[in-house]
Structure 1
Amino acid sequence: MKGLEGKVAIVTGGGQGIGRALVLRLAQEGCKVAIFDLSAEAGAETAKLAGDAVVKTWVLDVSDFDAVQSAVDSVESDLGPIWALINNAGWDRPTPFLKTTPDFWDKVISINLKGNLNTHYAVAGKMAERGGGRIINIASDAAKVGTAMEAVYSACKGGLISFTKSIARELARKGVLANCVCPGPTNTPMMAEVAGSGPDAEKWKAALERGIPLGRMGEPEDYAGIVALLVSEDGDYITGQAISVSGGMNMV
Protein backbone atom coordinates (compact mmCIF):
# COMPACT_ATOMS: atom_id res chain seq x y z
CA MET A 1 0.00 0.00 0.00
CA LYS A 2 1.15 3.55 -0.69
CA GLY A 3 2.36 5.98 1.93
CA LEU A 4 2.43 3.92 5.12
CA GLU A 5 6.17 3.71 5.77
CA GLY A 6 6.92 5.32 9.13
CA LYS A 7 3.31 6.28 9.86
CA VAL A 8 2.05 5.83 13.43
CA ALA A 9 -1.07 3.74 13.98
CA ILE A 10 -3.04 2.84 17.11
CA VAL A 11 -4.89 -0.48 17.17
CA THR A 12 -7.20 -1.03 20.13
CA GLY A 13 -7.59 -4.63 21.19
CA GLY A 14 -4.46 -5.45 19.22
CA GLY A 15 -3.33 -8.27 21.47
CA GLN A 16 -5.30 -11.07 19.83
CA GLY A 17 -7.79 -12.04 17.16
CA ILE A 18 -8.64 -9.51 14.47
CA GLY A 19 -6.65 -6.81 16.26
CA ARG A 20 -3.47 -8.87 16.17
CA ALA A 21 -3.86 -9.50 12.44
CA LEU A 22 -4.31 -5.76 11.85
CA VAL A 23 -1.22 -4.90 13.89
CA LEU A 24 0.91 -7.40 12.00
CA ARG A 25 -0.27 -6.20 8.59
CA LEU A 26 0.28 -2.53 9.41
CA ALA A 27 3.72 -3.35 10.81
CA GLN A 28 4.50 -5.24 7.59
CA GLU A 29 3.48 -2.14 5.62
CA GLY A 30 6.03 -0.11 7.58
CA CYS A 31 3.86 1.49 10.25
CA LYS A 32 4.93 2.05 13.83
CA VAL A 33 2.08 0.48 15.79
CA ALA A 34 0.77 1.23 19.27
CA ILE A 35 -1.39 -1.51 20.76
CA PHE A 36 -4.04 -0.48 23.30
CA ASP A 37 -5.01 -3.62 25.19
CA LEU A 38 -5.99 -4.86 28.63
CA SER A 39 -3.31 -7.56 28.45
CA ALA A 40 0.37 -6.70 28.47
CA GLU A 41 1.15 -10.36 27.74
CA ALA A 42 -1.04 -10.50 24.63
CA GLY A 43 0.45 -7.24 23.38
CA ALA A 44 3.97 -8.56 23.93
CA GLU A 45 3.16 -11.73 21.98
CA THR A 46 1.83 -9.68 19.07
CA ALA A 47 4.96 -7.51 19.12
CA LYS A 48 7.13 -10.64 19.10
CA LEU A 49 5.30 -11.92 16.03
CA ALA A 50 5.97 -8.59 14.30
CA GLY A 51 9.72 -9.24 14.38
CA ASP A 52 11.87 -6.16 13.97
CA ALA A 53 8.95 -3.80 13.36
CA VAL A 54 8.17 -1.07 15.89
CA VAL A 55 5.23 -2.39 17.91
CA LYS A 56 4.62 -1.25 21.48
CA THR A 57 1.81 -1.90 23.96
CA TRP A 58 -0.05 0.50 26.22
CA VAL A 59 -2.09 -1.35 28.84
CA LEU A 60 -5.45 0.34 29.40
CA ASP A 61 -9.21 0.02 29.28
CA VAL A 62 -10.60 2.02 26.35
CA SER A 63 -13.75 2.76 28.35
CA ASP A 64 -11.62 4.83 30.77
CA PHE A 65 -11.64 8.37 29.32
CA ASP A 66 -8.64 9.68 31.27
CA ALA A 67 -6.54 6.59 30.57
CA VAL A 68 -7.17 6.93 26.85
CA GLN A 69 -6.21 10.61 26.79
CA SER A 70 -3.00 9.88 28.70
CA ALA A 71 -2.07 6.93 26.47
CA VAL A 72 -2.62 8.93 23.28
CA ASP A 73 -0.33 11.69 24.54
CA SER A 74 2.26 9.07 25.46
CA VAL A 75 2.10 7.47 22.00
CA GLU A 76 2.70 10.80 20.30
CA SER A 77 5.60 11.56 22.62
CA ASP A 78 7.17 8.13 22.04
CA LEU A 79 6.36 7.23 18.41
CA GLY A 80 5.32 10.51 16.78
CA PRO A 81 2.15 12.05 15.34
CA ILE A 82 -0.71 9.56 15.05
CA TRP A 83 -1.80 9.00 11.45
CA ALA A 84 -4.24 6.11 11.88
CA LEU A 85 -6.65 5.07 14.62
CA ILE A 86 -8.12 1.58 14.30
CA ASN A 87 -10.83 0.92 16.87
CA ASN A 88 -11.06 -2.84 17.18
CA ALA A 89 -11.53 -3.51 20.92
CA GLY A 90 -14.87 -5.12 21.65
CA TRP A 91 -16.71 -7.53 23.91
CA ASP A 92 -20.00 -9.41 24.08
CA ARG A 93 -21.63 -12.47 25.60
CA PRO A 94 -24.55 -13.70 23.49
CA THR A 95 -27.66 -13.68 25.66
CA PRO A 96 -31.39 -13.20 24.98
CA PHE A 97 -32.10 -9.52 25.60
CA LEU A 98 -34.87 -10.22 28.13
CA LYS A 99 -32.40 -12.21 30.23
CA THR A 100 -29.81 -9.44 30.35
CA THR A 101 -29.45 -6.78 33.07
CA PRO A 102 -28.62 -3.06 33.12
CA ASP A 103 -25.13 -3.90 34.39
CA PHE A 104 -24.60 -6.07 31.31
CA TRP A 105 -25.88 -3.29 29.04
CA ASP A 106 -23.49 -0.82 30.65
CA LYS A 107 -20.50 -3.11 30.11
CA VAL A 108 -21.32 -3.78 26.46
CA ILE A 109 -21.97 -0.10 25.75
CA SER A 110 -18.87 1.08 27.63
CA ILE A 111 -16.55 -1.14 25.62
CA ASN A 112 -18.20 -1.21 22.19
CA LEU A 113 -19.48 2.36 21.91
CA LYS A 114 -18.17 4.63 24.65
CA GLY A 115 -14.64 3.31 24.24
CA ASN A 116 -14.70 4.42 20.62
CA LEU A 117 -15.98 7.87 21.58
CA ASN A 118 -13.06 8.16 23.99
CA THR A 119 -10.44 7.32 21.38
CA HIS A 120 -11.98 9.59 18.75
CA TYR A 121 -12.06 12.47 21.21
CA ALA A 122 -8.38 11.97 22.04
CA VAL A 123 -7.09 11.48 18.50
CA ALA A 124 -9.36 13.15 15.92
CA GLY A 125 -8.62 16.70 17.06
CA LYS A 126 -4.88 16.14 16.70
CA MET A 127 -5.42 14.76 13.20
CA ALA A 128 -7.59 17.72 12.23
CA GLU A 129 -5.02 20.23 13.48
CA ARG A 130 -2.35 18.55 11.35
CA GLY A 131 -4.61 18.33 8.32
CA GLY A 132 -4.75 14.58 7.88
CA GLY A 133 -5.45 11.18 9.36
CA ARG A 134 -7.41 7.97 9.02
CA ILE A 135 -9.92 6.41 11.40
CA ILE A 136 -11.12 2.85 10.88
CA ASN A 137 -13.82 1.48 13.17
CA ILE A 138 -14.32 -2.26 13.29
CA ALA A 139 -18.10 -2.54 13.46
CA SER A 140 -20.05 -5.68 12.51
CA ASP A 141 -22.52 -6.95 9.98
CA ALA A 142 -24.75 -7.38 13.04
CA ALA A 143 -25.17 -3.61 12.88
CA LYS A 144 -26.75 -3.89 9.44
CA VAL A 145 -29.06 -6.87 9.83
CA GLY A 146 -29.36 -7.47 13.58
CA THR A 147 -28.33 -10.61 15.39
CA ALA A 148 -30.41 -12.65 17.80
CA MET A 149 -28.79 -12.97 21.23
CA GLU A 150 -26.70 -9.85 20.58
CA ALA A 151 -29.23 -7.03 20.68
CA VAL A 152 -27.20 -4.57 22.75
CA TYR A 153 -23.97 -5.36 20.90
CA SER A 154 -25.75 -4.87 17.57
CA ALA A 155 -27.13 -1.55 18.80
CA CYS A 156 -23.64 -0.39 19.73
CA LYS A 157 -22.21 -1.37 16.36
CA GLY A 158 -25.11 0.33 14.57
CA GLY A 159 -24.44 3.45 16.60
CA LEU A 160 -20.76 3.22 15.72
CA ILE A 161 -21.57 3.19 12.01
CA SER A 162 -23.78 6.28 12.38
CA PHE A 163 -21.15 8.02 14.49
CA THR A 164 -18.47 7.22 11.90
CA LYS A 165 -20.54 8.71 9.09
CA SER A 166 -21.14 11.85 11.15
CA ILE A 167 -17.46 12.24 12.01
CA ALA A 168 -16.56 11.63 8.36
CA ARG A 169 -18.77 14.57 7.36
CA GLU A 170 -17.43 16.83 10.11
CA LEU A 171 -13.77 16.17 9.41
CA ALA A 172 -13.59 15.63 5.65
CA ARG A 173 -12.41 19.19 4.93
CA LYS A 174 -9.69 18.71 7.54
CA GLY A 175 -8.26 15.76 5.64
CA VAL A 176 -9.43 13.20 8.21
CA LEU A 177 -11.19 10.20 6.67
CA ALA A 178 -13.33 7.80 8.70
CA ASN A 179 -14.73 4.43 7.67
CA CYS A 180 -16.10 1.22 9.16
CA VAL A 181 -15.18 -2.35 8.37
CA CYS A 182 -17.95 -4.81 9.21
CA PRO A 183 -16.81 -8.39 9.81
CA GLY A 184 -19.09 -11.40 9.77
CA PRO A 185 -18.59 -14.48 11.97
CA THR A 186 -14.86 -14.93 12.54
CA ASN A 187 -12.58 -17.51 14.11
CA THR A 188 -11.31 -15.52 17.08
CA PRO A 189 -10.75 -16.31 20.76
CA MET A 190 -14.03 -14.57 21.59
CA MET A 191 -15.89 -16.71 19.03
CA ALA A 192 -14.28 -19.86 20.44
CA GLU A 193 -15.43 -18.86 23.92
CA VAL A 194 -18.98 -18.37 22.65
CA ALA A 195 -19.10 -21.58 20.61
CA GLY A 196 -17.52 -23.85 23.18
CA SER A 197 -16.22 -27.26 22.15
CA GLY A 198 -17.47 -30.73 21.33
CA PRO A 199 -19.91 -32.16 18.77
CA ASP A 200 -22.63 -29.57 19.36
CA ALA A 201 -20.17 -26.73 18.79
CA GLU A 202 -18.98 -28.31 15.55
CA LYS A 203 -22.57 -28.75 14.33
CA TRP A 204 -23.30 -25.10 15.13
CA LYS A 205 -20.21 -23.98 13.24
CA ALA A 206 -21.06 -26.16 10.23
CA ALA A 207 -24.60 -24.76 10.10
CA LEU A 208 -23.23 -21.24 10.27
CA GLU A 209 -20.79 -21.89 7.44
CA ARG A 210 -23.56 -23.28 5.24
CA GLY A 211 -25.16 -19.83 5.33
CA ILE A 212 -22.01 -18.11 4.04
CA PRO A 213 -21.72 -18.08 0.23
CA LEU A 214 -17.93 -18.48 0.37
CA GLY A 215 -18.42 -21.53 2.56
CA ARG A 216 -16.29 -20.67 5.58
CA MET A 217 -16.06 -18.41 8.59
CA GLY A 218 -13.77 -15.43 8.44
CA GLU A 219 -10.20 -15.49 9.70
CA PRO A 220 -8.59 -12.46 11.37
CA GLU A 221 -6.29 -12.00 8.39
CA ASP A 222 -9.28 -11.52 6.08
CA TYR A 223 -9.74 -7.96 7.38
CA ALA A 224 -6.14 -6.79 7.33
CA GLY A 225 -6.01 -5.91 3.64
CA ILE A 226 -9.05 -3.63 3.59
CA VAL A 227 -7.86 -1.85 6.73
CA ALA A 228 -4.40 -1.32 5.24
CA LEU A 229 -6.02 0.04 2.09
CA LEU A 230 -8.21 2.49 3.99
CA VAL A 231 -5.35 3.93 6.05
CA SER A 232 -3.04 4.25 3.02
CA GLU A 233 -2.88 6.73 0.16
CA ASP A 234 -4.77 4.15 -1.92
CA GLY A 235 -7.82 5.00 0.18
CA ASP A 236 -7.63 8.77 -0.21
CA TYR A 237 -11.10 9.07 -1.80
CA ILE A 238 -13.02 6.77 0.55
CA THR A 239 -14.80 8.14 3.62
CA GLY A 240 -18.03 7.59 5.51
CA GLN A 241 -18.42 3.99 4.35
CA ALA A 242 -19.40 0.78 6.17
CA ILE A 243 -17.75 -2.01 4.21
CA SER A 244 -18.90 -5.60 4.83
CA VAL A 245 -16.23 -8.29 4.82
CA SER A 246 -18.24 -11.41 5.54
CA GLY A 247 -17.88 -13.89 2.72
CA GLY A 248 -21.12 -12.63 1.19
CA MET A 249 -23.18 -13.66 4.23
CA ASN A 250 -24.99 -10.32 4.30
CA MET A 251 -25.12 -8.56 0.95
CA VAL A 252 -26.33 -5.17 2.20
Structure 2
Amino acid sequence: MLESTPLQSTTLKGKTALITGSTSGIGLASAHVLAEQGINLVLHGLMSDDEGANLAQEFSEKYQIKTLFDNANLMDTSAISVFMDKATKTMGSIDILINNAGIQHTEAVDTFPESKWNAIIAINLTAAFHTTQHALSGMKANSWGRIVNIASVHGLVASKNKVAYCAAKHGIVGLTKVVALECAEHGITANAICPGWVDTPLINDQITEIANKESTSFEQAKYQLITAKQPVPDMMAPRQIGEFILFLCSDSARSITGSSLPMDGAWTAQ
Protein backbone atom coordinates (compact mmCIF):
# COMPACT_ATOMS: atom_id res chain seq x y z
CA MET A 1 0.00 0.00 0.00
CA LEU A 2 1.40 3.34 -1.03
CA GLU A 3 1.69 5.99 1.64
CA SER A 4 1.08 9.58 0.77
CA THR A 5 3.30 12.30 2.13
CA PRO A 6 1.26 15.15 3.58
CA LEU A 7 2.06 18.56 2.12
CA GLN A 8 3.41 21.10 4.54
CA SER A 9 0.86 23.75 5.39
CA THR A 10 1.70 27.20 4.09
CA THR A 11 0.92 30.09 6.39
CA LEU A 12 -0.42 33.18 4.68
CA LYS A 13 0.72 35.54 7.42
CA GLY A 14 3.53 37.73 6.13
CA LYS A 15 2.79 37.09 2.46
CA THR A 16 1.95 40.05 0.25
CA ALA A 17 -1.23 40.51 -1.77
CA LEU A 18 -1.65 43.11 -4.50
CA ILE A 19 -5.28 44.01 -5.18
CA THR A 20 -6.21 46.29 -8.05
CA GLY A 21 -9.26 48.45 -7.47
CA SER A 22 -9.06 48.02 -3.70
CA THR A 23 -10.29 51.40 -2.46
CA SER A 24 -13.97 50.43 -2.61
CA GLY A 25 -16.39 47.58 -3.18
CA ILE A 26 -15.11 44.03 -3.64
CA GLY A 27 -11.47 45.07 -3.58
CA LEU A 28 -11.68 46.97 -0.31
CA ALA A 29 -13.71 44.26 1.41
CA SER A 30 -11.24 41.64 0.23
CA ALA A 31 -8.34 43.72 1.51
CA HIS A 32 -9.87 43.68 4.99
CA VAL A 33 -10.40 39.90 4.87
CA LEU A 34 -6.77 39.26 3.89
CA ALA A 35 -5.37 41.83 6.31
CA GLU A 36 -7.16 40.05 9.15
CA GLN A 37 -4.91 37.07 8.41
CA GLY A 38 -1.73 39.14 8.62
CA ILE A 39 -1.26 39.38 4.86
CA ASN A 40 0.61 42.50 3.75
CA LEU A 41 -1.17 44.62 1.16
CA VAL A 42 -0.53 46.65 -1.94
CA LEU A 43 -3.65 48.78 -2.30
CA HIS A 44 -4.61 50.45 -5.56
CA GLY A 45 -7.42 52.67 -6.76
CA LEU A 46 -8.82 56.02 -7.75
CA MET A 47 -7.56 58.14 -4.87
CA SER A 48 -5.06 60.93 -4.53
CA ASP A 49 -1.64 60.03 -3.16
CA ASP A 50 -2.54 61.59 0.19
CA GLU A 51 -5.88 59.77 0.44
CA GLY A 52 -4.23 56.50 -0.52
CA ALA A 53 -1.43 56.97 1.97
CA ASN A 54 -4.00 57.57 4.70
CA LEU A 55 -5.91 54.42 3.72
CA ALA A 56 -2.70 52.37 3.73
CA GLN A 57 -1.79 53.76 7.14
CA GLU A 58 -5.22 52.83 8.51
CA PHE A 59 -4.72 49.24 7.37
CA SER A 60 -1.18 49.15 8.71
CA GLU A 61 -2.16 50.40 12.15
CA LYS A 62 -5.34 48.33 12.45
CA TYR A 63 -3.88 45.01 11.33
CA GLN A 64 -0.16 45.50 12.07
CA ILE A 65 0.83 44.74 8.49
CA LYS A 66 3.03 46.34 5.87
CA THR A 67 1.12 48.35 3.29
CA LEU A 68 1.67 50.33 0.11
CA PHE A 69 -0.71 52.42 -1.99
CA ASP A 70 -0.50 53.29 -5.67
CA ASN A 71 -2.98 54.96 -8.01
CA ALA A 72 -1.44 53.77 -11.27
CA ASN A 73 -3.53 54.31 -14.40
CA LEU A 74 -4.38 50.78 -15.54
CA MET A 75 -5.04 52.02 -19.08
CA ASP A 76 -1.33 52.86 -19.37
CA THR A 77 0.88 49.78 -19.76
CA SER A 78 4.03 51.68 -18.84
CA ALA A 79 2.34 52.90 -15.65
CA ILE A 80 1.44 49.29 -14.78
CA SER A 81 5.09 48.30 -15.25
CA VAL A 82 6.27 51.05 -12.91
CA PHE A 83 3.56 50.13 -10.40
CA MET A 84 4.47 46.44 -10.35
CA ASP A 85 8.20 47.11 -10.11
CA LYS A 86 7.66 49.55 -7.24
CA ALA A 87 5.39 47.11 -5.41
CA THR A 88 7.84 44.23 -5.78
CA LYS A 89 10.86 46.25 -4.65
CA THR A 90 9.02 47.81 -1.71
CA MET A 91 7.27 44.69 -0.46
CA GLY A 92 9.88 42.11 -1.39
CA SER A 93 7.52 39.93 -3.41
CA ILE A 94 3.98 39.74 -4.74
CA ASP A 95 2.70 36.37 -3.54
CA ILE A 96 -1.00 36.90 -4.18
CA LEU A 97 -2.34 38.85 -7.15
CA ILE A 98 -5.99 39.82 -7.24
CA ASN A 99 -7.08 41.44 -10.48
CA ASN A 100 -10.24 43.16 -9.37
CA ALA A 101 -10.34 46.61 -10.99
CA GLY A 102 -13.23 47.08 -13.38
CA ILE A 103 -15.52 49.59 -15.00
CA GLN A 104 -18.88 49.23 -16.73
CA HIS A 105 -20.96 50.88 -19.42
CA THR A 106 -24.26 49.58 -20.77
CA GLU A 107 -25.45 50.35 -24.28
CA ALA A 108 -26.50 48.50 -27.43
CA VAL A 109 -23.74 47.24 -29.71
CA ASP A 110 -24.62 49.49 -32.62
CA THR A 111 -24.25 52.68 -30.57
CA PHE A 112 -21.63 51.53 -28.06
CA PRO A 113 -18.96 54.27 -27.88
CA GLU A 114 -15.49 53.27 -29.04
CA SER A 115 -13.94 55.11 -26.10
CA LYS A 116 -16.00 53.06 -23.63
CA TRP A 117 -15.08 49.81 -25.39
CA ASN A 118 -11.37 50.66 -25.27
CA ALA A 119 -11.47 51.69 -21.61
CA ILE A 120 -13.38 48.60 -20.46
CA ILE A 121 -11.12 46.19 -22.35
CA ALA A 122 -8.02 48.00 -21.09
CA ILE A 123 -8.97 48.09 -17.41
CA ASN A 124 -11.01 44.88 -17.11
CA LEU A 125 -8.81 42.62 -19.24
CA THR A 126 -5.54 43.99 -20.59
CA ALA A 127 -4.38 45.30 -17.22
CA ALA A 128 -4.81 41.82 -15.73
CA PHE A 129 -2.52 40.37 -18.39
CA HIS A 130 0.19 42.91 -17.60
CA THR A 131 -0.01 42.57 -13.81
CA THR A 132 0.08 38.79 -14.14
CA GLN A 133 3.05 38.90 -16.48
CA HIS A 134 5.00 41.06 -14.04
CA ALA A 135 4.09 38.95 -10.99
CA LEU A 136 4.91 35.53 -12.39
CA SER A 137 8.70 35.67 -12.24
CA GLY A 138 8.70 36.24 -8.49
CA MET A 139 6.04 33.60 -7.90
CA LYS A 140 8.03 31.07 -9.91
CA ALA A 141 11.20 31.93 -8.02
CA ASN A 142 9.36 31.24 -4.75
CA SER A 143 7.58 28.15 -6.12
CA TRP A 144 4.33 29.56 -4.73
CA GLY A 145 1.72 32.00 -5.91
CA ARG A 146 -1.98 32.67 -6.03
CA ILE A 147 -3.68 34.58 -8.84
CA VAL A 148 -7.36 35.33 -8.43
CA ASN A 149 -9.14 37.17 -11.21
CA ILE A 150 -12.47 38.74 -10.42
CA ALA A 151 -14.41 37.88 -13.54
CA SER A 152 -18.20 37.86 -13.49
CA VAL A 153 -21.16 35.71 -14.35
CA HIS A 154 -20.74 37.64 -17.60
CA GLY A 155 -17.55 35.70 -18.14
CA LEU A 156 -19.78 32.64 -18.54
CA VAL A 157 -22.97 34.00 -20.10
CA ALA A 158 -24.00 37.17 -21.88
CA SER A 159 -26.52 39.94 -21.29
CA LYS A 160 -27.83 42.59 -23.63
CA ASN A 161 -26.15 45.99 -23.65
CA LYS A 162 -22.93 44.71 -22.05
CA VAL A 163 -20.85 43.93 -25.10
CA ALA A 164 -17.51 45.24 -23.82
CA TYR A 165 -17.98 43.97 -20.28
CA CYS A 166 -18.93 40.48 -21.47
CA ALA A 167 -16.04 40.41 -23.93
CA ALA A 168 -13.58 41.44 -21.23
CA LYS A 169 -14.89 39.00 -18.63
CA HIS A 170 -14.94 36.10 -21.10
CA GLY A 171 -11.36 37.10 -21.88
CA ILE A 172 -10.42 37.01 -18.19
CA VAL A 173 -11.72 33.45 -17.98
CA GLY A 174 -9.56 32.43 -20.94
CA LEU A 175 -6.52 34.24 -19.54
CA THR A 176 -7.00 32.44 -16.22
CA LYS A 177 -7.07 29.00 -17.87
CA VAL A 178 -3.88 29.59 -19.84
CA VAL A 179 -1.99 30.91 -16.81
CA ALA A 180 -3.14 27.90 -14.78
CA LEU A 181 -1.86 25.48 -17.42
CA GLU A 182 1.48 27.19 -17.81
CA CYS A 183 2.07 27.52 -14.06
CA ALA A 184 0.79 24.13 -12.91
CA GLU A 185 4.29 22.82 -12.10
CA HIS A 186 5.42 25.96 -10.27
CA GLY A 187 3.19 25.91 -7.19
CA ILE A 188 1.06 28.69 -8.66
CA THR A 189 -2.71 28.54 -9.02
CA ALA A 190 -4.89 30.80 -11.12
CA ASN A 191 -8.65 30.97 -10.77
CA ALA A 192 -11.49 33.24 -11.82
CA ILE A 193 -14.36 34.07 -9.51
CA CYS A 194 -17.58 34.76 -11.39
CA PRO A 195 -20.00 36.69 -9.17
CA GLY A 196 -23.59 37.44 -9.98
CA TRP A 197 -25.09 40.56 -8.45
CA VAL A 198 -22.81 42.13 -5.86
CA ASP A 199 -23.92 45.07 -3.76
CA THR A 200 -21.41 47.66 -5.02
CA PRO A 201 -21.73 51.16 -6.52
CA LEU A 202 -20.91 49.73 -9.97
CA ILE A 203 -24.55 48.77 -10.60
CA ASN A 204 -26.26 51.83 -9.13
CA ASP A 205 -26.64 53.49 -12.53
CA GLN A 206 -28.46 50.43 -13.87
CA ILE A 207 -30.83 50.43 -10.90
CA THR A 208 -31.49 54.15 -11.23
CA GLU A 209 -32.22 53.75 -14.93
CA ILE A 210 -34.84 51.07 -14.19
CA ALA A 211 -36.37 53.14 -11.40
CA ASN A 212 -36.72 56.16 -13.69
CA LYS A 213 -38.06 54.13 -16.59
CA GLU A 214 -40.59 52.22 -14.48
CA SER A 215 -41.42 55.14 -12.16
CA THR A 216 -40.67 52.97 -9.15
CA SER A 217 -38.48 53.14 -6.07
CA PHE A 218 -34.77 52.39 -6.05
CA GLU A 219 -35.32 49.31 -3.86
CA GLN A 220 -38.06 47.92 -6.11
CA ALA A 221 -35.90 48.54 -9.17
CA LYS A 222 -33.03 46.76 -7.42
CA TYR A 223 -35.21 43.71 -6.74
CA GLN A 224 -36.42 43.76 -10.34
CA LEU A 225 -32.87 43.88 -11.65
CA ILE A 226 -31.70 41.00 -9.45
CA THR A 227 -34.57 38.60 -10.07
CA ALA A 228 -34.62 39.16 -13.81
CA LYS A 229 -31.50 36.99 -13.96
CA GLN A 230 -30.78 35.44 -10.59
CA PRO A 231 -33.12 33.10 -8.66
CA VAL A 232 -31.65 34.08 -5.28
CA PRO A 233 -33.30 37.47 -4.71
CA ASP A 234 -30.45 39.02 -2.74
CA MET A 235 -27.23 40.66 -3.79
CA MET A 236 -24.03 39.24 -2.39
CA ALA A 237 -21.98 41.24 0.10
CA PRO A 238 -18.49 42.13 -1.18
CA ARG A 239 -16.92 40.49 1.87
CA GLN A 240 -18.22 37.08 0.76
CA ILE A 241 -15.97 37.30 -2.27
CA GLY A 242 -13.04 38.25 -0.07
CA GLU A 243 -13.64 35.15 2.03
CA PHE A 244 -13.70 33.00 -1.10
CA ILE A 245 -10.44 34.58 -2.24
CA LEU A 246 -8.91 33.71 1.13
CA PHE A 247 -9.98 30.09 0.68
CA LEU A 248 -8.42 29.97 -2.80
CA CYS A 249 -5.15 31.17 -1.29
CA SER A 250 -5.15 28.39 1.30
CA ASP A 251 -3.54 24.97 1.11
CA SER A 252 -7.01 23.45 1.02
CA ALA A 253 -7.43 24.92 -2.48
CA ARG A 254 -3.99 24.01 -3.82
CA SER A 255 -5.51 21.69 -6.44
CA ILE A 256 -8.12 24.19 -7.58
CA THR A 257 -6.64 25.96 -10.58
CA GLY A 258 -7.83 27.00 -14.01
CA SER A 259 -11.37 27.13 -12.67
CA SER A 260 -14.15 29.61 -13.34
CA LEU A 261 -16.08 29.58 -10.10
CA PRO A 262 -19.62 31.02 -10.07
CA MET A 263 -20.95 32.85 -7.01
CA ASP A 264 -24.11 33.77 -8.82
CA GLY A 265 -27.24 32.83 -6.84
CA ALA A 266 -28.00 30.03 -9.35
CA TRP A 267 -27.92 32.43 -12.32
CA THR A 268 -25.97 29.98 -14.52
CA ALA A 269 -27.82 26.93 -13.15
CA GLN A 270 -30.83 27.80 -15.30
Q: In the alignment, is the contact (CA less than 8 A) between 1:15 and 1:46 conserved in 2?
A: no
C-alpha deviations, 1:123-157, integer Å up to 9, x for none? 11221232221100000001211011111110110
- Write the letter of the residue equivalent to 1:22: S
Residue in 2 that maps onto 1:244: 262
How many residues get paired?
A: 252
Deviation digits for residues 96-121 of structure 1 (CA, Å, limit 9, x no counterpart): 12111222211111111111111111
Matches within 5 A, 1:42-57: 44-45=54-55, 48=58, 51-54=62-65, 55-57=67-69
Equivalent position to 1:180, from 184, 192, 195: 192
Contact 2:75 2:119 in 1 (8 A): no
User: Cα offset for 1:209?
Assistant: 3.4
Indicate which of 154, 157, 162 corresponds to 2:166: 154
Pairing 1:207–2:224 present: yes
Q: Alpha-carbon deviation of 1:207? A: 1.5
Mean CA deviation greater in 123-132 or 203-212: 203-212
Larger Rg: 2
Q: Deviation of residue 170 (structure 1)? A: 0.6
Q: Which has the higher contact order (CA 8 A, sep 6+)?
A: 1
Deviation at 1:200, TM superposition (A): 4.6
Q: Is 1:233 aligned to 2:228, yes or no? A: no
Unmatched segments (≥5 aa) in structure 2: 1-8
- In the alignment, what sits opposite 1:58? 70
The correspondence of residues 1-252 of structure 1 with structure 2, limited to 5 A, is: 3-40=11-48, 41=51, 44-45=54-55, 48=58, 51-54=62-65, 55-196=67-208, 199-211=216-228, 212-251=230-269
Is 1:62–1:119's contact at 8 Å kept on the other side of the alignment? no
Please give the secondary structure, in 1, of the residue aligned with 2:98. Answer: strand
Work out whether residues 44 and 57 of structure 1, in 8 Å CA contact, stay in contact via their aligned partners in 2: no
CA distance in 2, matches of 1:33, 1:101: 35
Q: TM-score, normalization: structure 1?
A: 0.92
2:69 and 2:269 mapped to 1: Cα distance? 36
- Percent identity over the alignment? 28
Contact in 2 for aligned 1:142/1:154 (Cα 8 Å): yes
Q: Residue 172 of structure 1 aligns to a residue in which SS?
A: coil
